[in-house]
Chains A and B, each alone.
Chain A
């Protein structure tokens, strides 16, 4: 079985890459570091993913994740798509990122209701734990983080229950983010935010 993943050198991408590798899958990682930039090298990324049993659409850059969903929706057997819970709060978080993740989720939903669509696991993620080697002072901080294992368990759930072809998991926003939002938007209705 062959798995292809974008953004495999760091964070949850690396954890997934290592996990499938240790389960004796043939794994192919595509990252800027080995010459597969999902923007500049888009066509080559698509080419490398065609025919995979599983494609993990992990790396984020602008509209590229959605473009990959559409380019590969009938060229791989299954796909895991890393989305963001922030897409549920577009009126609170006005960024291109949120809009991109909304478009990504809609592309997944359309495939999930298409009788000919491939199997898709769509994850609305919140803050994910950082590698201990991460010294980036600009990295997000948070009250809690999703542990890699929690995401690996969700993936495992979907992989081991193949009758459920289409699935979506949605994580909660954190209290830290909630408080940041409240500071930025004093009129925020707390019932709109999960924490």
Chain B
């Protein structure tokens, strides 16, 4: 049984991942922007999912959790697209993960297809847990991403 922390569990992908790991028998704790993040220290796996608090959680927790999965986005592969806030935030986040270059962090770059199909994301996470020498898994879009 793993001790798993996750943000953004009230809907969508975060909720699906939360439910998946609970059903697998893991000890899963949900965090939100108002949580005391010190409770996440010592997690075996932290899924840094909720947009808006990702950078702050990355910086707070990267050295104090076993593994971390950071949900990035393929929008960063489109340098010609103008930079609305979302793309800007995801670009900064990706740069920070790559700058840290830690062996226990996976950058999982999601496309809209992956975002809407939690089973694919679960499969990717399980691949990484079994094959930890990979440190970036990137889904990519065909054509420009929806903005």
Binding site for B on A (CB under 8 A): 109, 112-115, 117, 124, 126, 144, 146, 150, 153-154, 157, 161, 163-172, 191-195
Q: Given A153-B131, A172-B103, are A109 and B139 also a contact pair (CB < 8 Å)?
A: no
B53 in the interface (beta carbon within 8 A): no
Interface size on B, residues (CB 8 A): 30
Shortest Cβ distance from residue A59 to the other chain B in the assembled complex, whole angstroms: 23
* Contact across chains for B99 and A191 when beta carbons are under 8 A apart: yes
A-B contacts counted at CB < 8 A amount to: 89
Q: Report B101-128 CB contacts with A as 1/0, cut-off 8 Å.
A: 1110000010101100100100110010
Q: Given A153-B131, A171-B135, A194-B135, are A166 and B140 also a contact pair (CB < 8 Å)?
A: yes
The chain A residue sitting closest to B111, CB to CB, is A164
Residues on B with beta carbons closer than 8 Å to the beta carbon of A172: 103, 133-135
* Contact across chains for B133 and A171 when beta carbons are under 8 A apart: yes
Residues on A with beta carbons closer than 8 Å to the beta carbon of B141: 112-113, 166
Q: Given A126-B133, A150-B133, A154-B127, are A166 and B99 also a contact pair (CB < 8 Å)?
A: no
* Contact across chains for B131 and A114 when beta carbons are under 8 A apart: no
* Contact across chains for B139 and A164 when beta carbons are under 8 A apart: yes
Partner of B120, one of A144, A163, A166: A163
Indicate the member of A113, A126, A144, A167 with the most B CB atoms within 10 Å: A113
A157 to B77 alpha-carbon distance, docked (Å): 22
A60 to B130 alpha-carbon distance, docked (Å): 28
* Contact across chains for A194 and B103 when beta carbons are under 8 A apart: yes
Residues on A with beta carbons closer than 8 Å to the beta carbon of B135: 170-172, 194
Residues on A with beta carbons closer than 8 Å to the beta carbon of B143: 113-115
A134 to B138 alpha-carbon distance, docked (Å): 33
Residues on A with beta carbons closer than 8 Å to the beta carbon of B120: 161, 163-164
Q: A163-B120, A167-B139 are in contact. List 15 more A-B contacts (CB 8 A).
A: A113-B144, A144-B133, A154-B131, A154-B134, A157-B124, A164-B111, A166-B111, A168-B138, A169-B137, A172-B134, A172-B135, A191-B100, A194-B102, A194-B135, A195-B101
